[in-house]
Amino acid sequence: MSTTELGEPFASPAAQDLEHQYLIQNYSRYPLLLRRGKGCYVYDSTGKRYLDLIAGIGVNALGHSHPRIVKAIREQAALLIHCSNLYYHDFQGPLAKRLAETSGLARVFFTNSGTEAMEGALKMIRSHGRRISEEKFEIVSLENSFHGRTLGALSVTGQAKYRRDFEPLLPGVRFVPPNDLGALEAAVGENTSGIVIEAIQGEGGVYPVSVEYLRKARELADRHNALLVFDEIQCGVGRPGTYYAYQLAEPVVLPDVMVAAKPIACGLPLGAIVADEEAAATIGPGMHGSTFGGGALACRVALEFFDILDGLLPSISKTGGCFRTELIELARHFGFIKEVRGFGLMIGVELDIPGKQFVTDAMEEGMLINCTHDVVLRFLPPYIITEGEVDRAVEKLKKIFKKSAVRPVQA
Ligand SMILES: Cc1ncc(COP(=O)(O)O)c(C=O)c1O
């Protein structure tokens, strides 16, 4: 075991050294070697236990080693893992039905990741516009948004730091500030073929977009015959306490296309583009495809997940509500907490000091959290988290916040 800057043995030097030598050095990992997980906890190579409030960045919706997910994986792995999209298997059809029924949309294309789903949605936008006019290829997206790392998804990601090394990207993308109805109206016109929105910006710091803004986007998309695409990759599939974040609005603001991924197969790679009939018709035979997308194993697990999720939605709202209430109470004791935001189990705590140190402090205390945009502590816990676990998390936060009162916080 190596001794890390955290002063405790974490990752094995062999694992670290090999990664340093052989991996492309794009990730800066915490010195933590995780070996197993159970429920809302993960365990490192020394056996130390951590309450997991980031859950693989919003992926491990049912926590770790959920017995029904493990059983589904075991059974299906022994039957059929993958058979390509040349043939039928038992699970794509039923899973597409669940996605259509829960979203209010009609048809599904399966992918392996969020960014791949966004690429497909962008192709739909382009194909839709092109059928009307060659000039109709513009896309309106939001500042501070995040839609993935592939070139198309990057082109609509409203943060220069992710885009700048790869420019020039797709032409015709305009970025507008979230919640500025006038700016949105000014940006959308007859050459707009699509509007792309995360109803709750996740990576951008857990910023919900207002219902009025979503409605205005719907109205403008209808007026100018553009496709309205909602990115539900982080904020959707149960996390907000509804199936999808756009369903928090009453009445629901229905997009033409919705993309989902992260939690959908509880850790197996799976994403989906879900579209209404008209948007789905923009992709004809041979226009799109994916070798791995919608494999038998991933789809079976996702179906199992949806069966469990149906019963979990009320507790996601309730436990998330308790979590936010406790965090707001915490804010009364620590002046550096600026705001607590979010819905369901997608919560951001904005600080007016850097948050990075709290992530390592939390790790020392046996808890995994994340900091985005330097100052927003982001919580994306498993949907099965209990109120008792939330209480424990808030106790730990109180402890680490108290420490910061006695030492200067490092940037
Ligand atoms: C809102 C949103 N869209 C797209 C993506 C990209 O998904 P993936 O990393 O699965 O490609 C992410 C990932 O964090 C996301 O949060």
Q: pLDDT tens, 260-275?
A: 999 999 999 999 999 9
Give the whole-angstrom CA distance, residue 398 versus residue 334: 9
What's the 147 CA to ligand 1 centre distance in angstroms?
Answer: 6
147 neighbors 153 (Cβ within 8 angstroms): yes
Residue 407: per-residue pLDDT = 60
pLDDT-derived band at 16 (thresholds 50, 70, 90) equals: confident
Amino acid 7: pLDDT: 44
Pairing of strands 367-368, 271-275: unpaired
pTM of this structure: 0.96
Residue from 110, 233, 270 whose mutation best tests the ligand 1 pocket (most atoms within 8 A of CB): 233
**pLDDT band at 404, cuts 50/70/90?**
confident
Q: Probe ligand 1: pick from 27, 115, 196, 237, max atoms within 8 Å of CB?
A: 115
- The pLDDT value recorded for residue 25 is 96
- pLDDT, tens digit (0-9, with 9 covering 90-100), for 118-146: 999 999 999 999 999 999 999 999 999 99
What is the pLDDT averaged over residues 357-368? 97
H-helix or E-strand spanning residue 194 = strand 192-197
Q: Name the pLDDT band for 6 (thresholds 50, 70, 90).
A: very low
Q: What is the pLDDT of residue 101?
A: 98
Ligand 1 near 234 CB (within 6 A): yes
CB of residue 239 inside a 6 A radius of ligand 1: no
Contacts of 332 (CB under 8 A, 6+ apart): none
Mean predicted confidence (pLDDT) in 311-337: 97
* 230-248 pLDDT, tens digit each: 999 999 999 999 999 999 9
State the Cα–Cα distance between residues 31 and 13, nearest whole angstrom.
10
Give the list of residues 6+ apart from residue 199 with CB closer than 8 angstroms, or none. Answer: 208, 209, 214, 230, 232, 235, 236, 244, 245, 246, 248
410: pLDDT strictly greater than 80 = no
Name the token pair of 48: 């130390």
Whose CA is closest to atom 5 on ligand 1? 148
Closest CA to 340 of 329, 328, 332: 328
Banded pLDDT at 96 (limits 50, 70, 90)? very high
